[in-house]
Amino acid sequence: MTHARPLATKLIPAAAALAAAMVLAGCTPGTTTPDDGGAAGTPVTGGTLVYASGDAEPSCLDPHVGGNYPQALVASQYLETLYTKDSVGKLIPWLAEDSTVSDDGLTRTVKIRDGIKFTDGTALDAAAVKANFEHLLDPATASSTGYLALGKIDSMKAVDARTLELKLKSPDNSLLESFSMPWVAIESPTALKRSQAENCESPVGTGPFKVASWKKQEAVNLVRNDAYVLPVEQAGHARTAHLDAITWRFIPEAATRYAALQSGEVQMIDNAQPDAIATSAKNPAIKHLDAPRPGASNRIELNSSKAPFNDANVREAFIHSVNVNAGIDSLFFGTAKRSYSPLSSVEPLAYSEESLFSNDPAKAGKLLDDAGWSQRDAQGYRVKDGTRLSLTFPVSTSQSIPAEQSLFEQMQATAKDSGIEIKIKLLDLSSWYGELFANNYNLVSAPYTKVGPGVLSILFHSDSTIPAPSGYFANLSQVKDPSLDALLNKAGSTKDEAERKDLYTQAQKKVLEGYYLLPLYNQQNHFLYSEKLKNVGATTAVASPTFFDTWLAK
């Protein structure tokens, strides 16, 4: 194991993953193929890493605004968080030095680390952190992820330069986990006073790199922060980054992105496709970083707020009508393992119930018959009261890789055998959001990343059907179950770890047994990179790579 990294944890080499898992009880965020550049040779200073992202280009480089994963990927290079995770997945202070909570759980006191400055020269202190939290909670910021993560904060007070006191509406045992996410990263309060447009162009942080320029539809250019101060001094770490710069490009087409890596035009790509991962395994010049995201699993949510999924029997019938495993086996080349949990496998409190998700057309047929969908039309689809059993499934092409879209098409074919029509609508991100806001969906695949099991409250608590200031709402299955709300409320407030685990297990069982979702696999986070790029593997708490210790071999 390696020491903790800035904002980061070093992923375990694949050969050691099984043994480590026995020790760490699943606390590591993922595995990676061995990277022999970390120990072999002397780090080289200089050079520019060219990174190619397949995610949609952010509309704002400030992850406080909105709060999606493409923002986290790039912002992790120039912003830092109050907390992070170490090499065994344990939360540790980073820009914060310590934190305590009152006996009643309603007052959280955070000590801010001394001697750190933002790249514009502003000092990090309690007032700066307070300004950031106020920015996140201000409806005008239009935050979603950060806003929801800090939703229990009622008031704030900078007691002195290094002490921030938070008063909470109710106890929140997930707050430090929230503090570890890039969407709650700390920015210069001086820079935050600029217009939102200015701050979106060039957020100012304390990280090892800083934003030099952003040429939209092309690249974000980052340069080394030569005044960087490592918050936690550790042996073997450079004082500043080895790389001179990072050019963060946007290449949406997967084949073009992979070709650019093969040619040496870029040194790292994300959203690596399963076939490319399988092919690259035979090429010693290309390495693979597998870093599953924490929080929720990748899943399809069933909209229970309207017909036909307001009937639990129809939800269960749909689950049994689709053959997910066959699609994963044929399309993902071993890069994705089937999930049967609402939570990612990297979450220690994840609960699975495989028996609920068998492909069983006979059972699906009986459930549909019992629900009144016993007749079929000329195309073989089931009908009830003259209405076809048809499901609308909007899919965001920027959030779903081609292999996943093919999986959805295979599910469409197997569901048809049971008489269920699935209408897949491939949409750009803006149109996809429009369908969600209009409640024009029966099925939806919506990635959501949050550190810790508290993500269950965001995804399935009835309060989460109320939109965040950005307009985003997270409870897309639209579960409204007071007993589930009570479990989640208590799980999020208890100080007893055993009770927390039991309550989150009960909550997951309720969601799974209600057939509100179809788990697929961990949220995929596959990166391919050149063997010339050394010491790769450090990631943030949300499994986005960081490049403080990375260097380019000549």
Nearest in space to 111 (alpha carbons), one of 124, 121, 98, 123:
98
DSSP H/E element including 528 = strand 526-530
Q: What are phi and psi of 542, to 5 degrees?
A: -105, 20
Angle at 37 between CA 32 and CA 40, to 5 degrees: 135
Cα separations in angstroms, 75 against 51, 205, 245, 348, 488 = 13, 9, 14, 27, 31
359 is written with which tokens?
């492909």
Write the DSSP symbol of residue 186: B
Residue 41 CB neighbours (<10 A): 12
List per-residue pLDDT tens for the chain, 554 residues long: 223 334 444 443 333 332 332 222 223 333 343 344 444 578 999 999 999 999 889 999 999 999 999 999 999 999 999 999 987 889 999 999 999 999 999 999 999 999 999 999 999 999 999 999 999 999 999 999 999 999 999 999 999 999 999 999 999 999 999 999 999 999 999 999 999 999 999 999 999 999 999 999 999 999 999 999 999 987 667 789 999 999 999 999 999 999 999 999 999 999 999 999 999 999 999 999 999 999 999 999 999 999 999 999 999 999 999 999 999 999 999 999 999 999 999 999 999 999 999 999 999 999 999 999 999 999 999 999 999 999 999 999 988 889 999 999 999 999 999 999 999 999 998 899 899 999 999 999 988 899 999 999 999 999 987 666 766 678 999 999 999 999 999 999 999 999 999 999 999 999 999 999 999 999 989 999 999 999 999 999 999 999 999 999 98
77 is written with which tokens?
């290079």
238, 228 Cβ separation under 8 angstroms:
no
Alpha-helix runs per DSSP H in 17-90: 17-24, 69-75
525, 297 Cβ separation under 8 angstroms:
no
